[in-house]
Structure formats: C-alpha cells, structure tokens
Amino acid sequence: MTKFTLQLRVKQSEGALVRILGVTRRRRFDLLHLTADTSEDGHFLDVQMTVQADRAENTLVRQIEKLEDVSQVEVVEPDDSASERRAARSTAR
C-alpha cells in the first residue's frame, strides 16, 4: 500500500475538482484527505490531497497531469497547516 500527498494547481472551471476526484476513484486510489482553496487571483484552485492505493504513485500522477485544467502536480510532504487549521477549529468549538 502506498500513501502520498499531491499538491495541485487547477484552473477554476466547470467541474474541475470533480474531474480530479473522478480520476482518483476510477484509478482505484482511496482519498484520505482533501483541501481546496481559491488562489489569490481567483483564477485557480489550489488542491492538496492525500491518497492511498496498491498502485504506484505515478499511475495517478500521470493521469492527473493529463487533465486539461491541471497546470501543476507535485508530490509533497503533507502540509501541516491544514491539520493545524482543523485542530484550531475543534479547539474553538
């Protein structure tokens, strides 16, 4: 089982996020974590997702790269700020 985190930059367009999640599911990767934020200029979505699968990392990376609206794909270390934000929210409750 491999587990890894992808950082994506995606053009804001009809169904862009659904398309990425669809490819992820169809290629048999399980989604463990997802964040998506609009970029400062409003033209892009910055997506971070953590997935796991029995298949090699590149199987998914190469398929996502091909999507017309995806301009950047990187395998990254998970960004702690997201989990920190979650932690902050639960503290605030």
Partner 1 sequence: MKGAEFLVKALEHEGVELIFGYPGGAIMPVYDALLDSKIRHILVRHEQAAALAADGYARATGKVGVCMATSGPGATNLVTGIANAYMDSVPMVAITGQVATSLMGTDAFQEVDIFGITMPVVKHSFLAKTAAELPRIVHEAFRIARSGRPGPVLIDLPKDIANTVAEYEFHEDDTSEEIAEPSKESITRALALMRESRNPVVYAGGGIGMANALEEFRAFIETTRIPVVATLKGLGALPTTHEFALGMMGMHGTKTANHAVQICDLLICVGARFDDRATGRLNAFAPNAKVIHLDVDRAEISKLRRADVPVIGDLRHALKALTCKLANIEPWRRECSASKETHAWDYAAPGTEVYAPGFLKELSDRAGDDSIVACDVGQHQMWVAQHFHFNRPSQHLSSGGLGTMGYGLPAAIGAQLAFPNATVINVSGDGSIMMNLQELATLRRYDLPVKIVLFDNRALGMVRQWQELFHDKRYSEVDLSDNPDFCRVAESMGIPAFRVEDRADVSGAIDRLLAEPGPVLAHVLIHQEANVWPIVGPGRSNSEMMHQHEVAREVAR
Residue whose CB is less far from partner 1, 3 or 22: 22
Count residues binding partner 1 (CB under 8 A).
15
H-helix or E-strand spanning residue 64: helix 57-66
Part in contact with partner 1 (CB under 8 A); list of ranges 1-9, 41-49, 55-63, 78-86: 55-63
∠ CA(57), CA(66), CA(10), 5° rounding?
Answer: 90
Q: Of these, 1, 40, 42, 66, which contacts partner 1 (CB under 8 A)?
A: 66
Q: Under the phi-then-psi rule, with left for phi > 0, alpha for psi from -120 to 50, and beta for the rest, what region is 63?
A: alpha
Per CB under 8 A, residues contacting partner 1 are 14-15, 18-19, 22, 26, 56, 58-59, 62-63, 65-68
